[in-house]
Amino acid sequence: MMSLKLKICGMRDPENIAQVVALQPDYLGLIFYPKSKRFVGNISATMINAIPERIQKTGVFVNEQLHQVHEFILKYKLSAVQLHGDECPNYCKALKNLLPAVSLIKAFGVDESFDFKILNPYQKVVDYFLFDTQTLEHGGSGKTFNWSLLKGYTLKIPYFLSGGIGPESLEQLQQLNDKYLYAIDINSKFEIEPGLKDIAKLTAFKNTLFPLRVAINGIK
C-alpha cells in the first residue's frame, strides 16, 4: 500500500480550521454545497489562502455550474476539487482543461448494487476516485459501506476511502492492504457538531494511523 494520506473534511469554523491545520493533514475539505450541514457559507478567502501549501485545500461540489467551480478555485486558491454529485466525464474533462494543475477527485457512492464499470469513462479525466457510502444526500451519512466490495475495483487510479470512518475504524483500517488506497477521508465521526471537529479525537486517530509521520514531524 502506498504512503497513506489523510483528508479532514467538512471544515468551516476559522478557529477550528487553525487547530486542524496544526495537525498537518494532507488534505483539508471545504464543502461548497449549500444543502450540506457543513456548508462553508461566506468563509474568508484571506483566511483560507493563508493555509500552508503543503495542505491541499479541497473544494467539495455537488452538481455545481462549471463557471462557479472555476470561480471558487481561483478565489480560495484550491489545489484539489472533489465532485460529489452526478458529474459526467465530459464535465470532469472540461474542468481539468480549465485548470490542469488542480487535482480532480470524483466521488461515487458504493452499495451492494454498485457497478465499478461506470468508472471506466472517467479514467483519463480524473486524478483520483473517492468511494463513499451511497446515500440520497450526497454523503455525510456517518455510515460505513461494506469495504469488501472494493475487491471489485480493478482500475489503477488511486482512491480515497470515505463514509462513516471514525475512531472505532482504526483496527479495520490497519488491516487494509490495497496498493491503490491513497487516502482516508474523515468527517462526521470526529465532530462535536456539524462543521466543528473534536481535536483530541483527530489527534489520537492521526497519531495511531500515521505513527511514523508523527515521529518524523514531532507532532504530539
The answer, yes or no, to whether residue 8 has pLDDT greater than 50, is yes
The pLDDT assigned to 134 comes to: 81
Report which of 161, 120, 114 is spatially closest to residue 135, judged by C-alpha positions: 114
Angle at 21 between CA 18 and CA 23, to 5 degrees: 120
CATH 3.20.20.70 for domain 5-217, yes or no, is yes
Burial category of 115 from C-beta neighbours within 10 Å (exposed 0-12, middle 13-18, buried 19 and up)? exposed
The catalytically annotated residue of 9, 26, 92, 185 is 9
9 catalytic per annotation: yes
- Average pLDDT, integer, range 137-151: 79
The answer, yes or no, to whether residue 112 has pLDDT greater than 60, is yes
Tell which phi-psi region holds residue 93, choosing left (phi > 0), alpha (psi between -120 and 50) or beta.
alpha
Taking each helix axis from N to C terminus, what angle separates 66-76 and 89-98, rounded to the nearest 10 degrees? 40
- Average pLDDT, integer, range 19-23: 97
The pLDDT assigned to 174 comes to: 87
Taking each helix axis from N to C terminus, what angle separates 14-22 and 199-209, rounded to the nearest 10 degrees? 20
The pLDDT assigned to 141 comes to: 61
Supply the pTM of this predicted model: 0.92
- Average pLDDT, integer, range 80-88: 97
The catalytically annotated residue of 26, 92, 132, 185 is 132
- Average pLDDT, integer, range 42-46: 95
- Average pLDDT, integer, range 64-82: 97
Determine the distance from the C-alpha atom of residue 38 to the mean position of all C-alpha atoms in its chain, rounded to a whole number.
13
Cell of 149: 466490495
219 pLDDT band (50/70/90 cuts)? Answer: very low
Q: Where are the domains of the chain?
A: 5-217
139 pLDDT band (50/70/90 cuts)? Answer: low
> What does the mean pLDDT of the chain come to?
91
The answer, yes or no, to whether residue 217 has pLDDT greater than 70, is no
132 catalytic per annotation: yes
The answer, yes or no, to whether residue 220 has pLDDT greater than 60, is no
Read off the pLDDT of residues 188-215 as tens digits, 9 standing for 90 and up. Answer: 999 999 999 999 999 999 999 887 444 3
Minimum mean pLDDT among 43-47, 158-162, 210-214: which range? 210-214
The pLDDT assigned to 213 comes to: 47
The answer, yes or no, to whether residue 1 has pLDDT greater than 80, is no
As a three-state string, the secondary structure of the chain is CCCCEEEECCCCCHHHHHHHHHCCCCEEEEECCCCCCCECCCCCHHHHHCCCCCCEEEEEECCCCHHHHHHHHHHHCCCEEEECCCCCHHHHHHHHHHCCCCEEEEEEEECCCCCHHHHHHHCCCCCEEEEEECCCCCCCCCCCCCHHHHHHCCCCCCEEECCCCCHHHHHHHHCCCCCCEEEEEECHHHEEECCEECHHHHHHHHHHHCHHHHHHHCCC
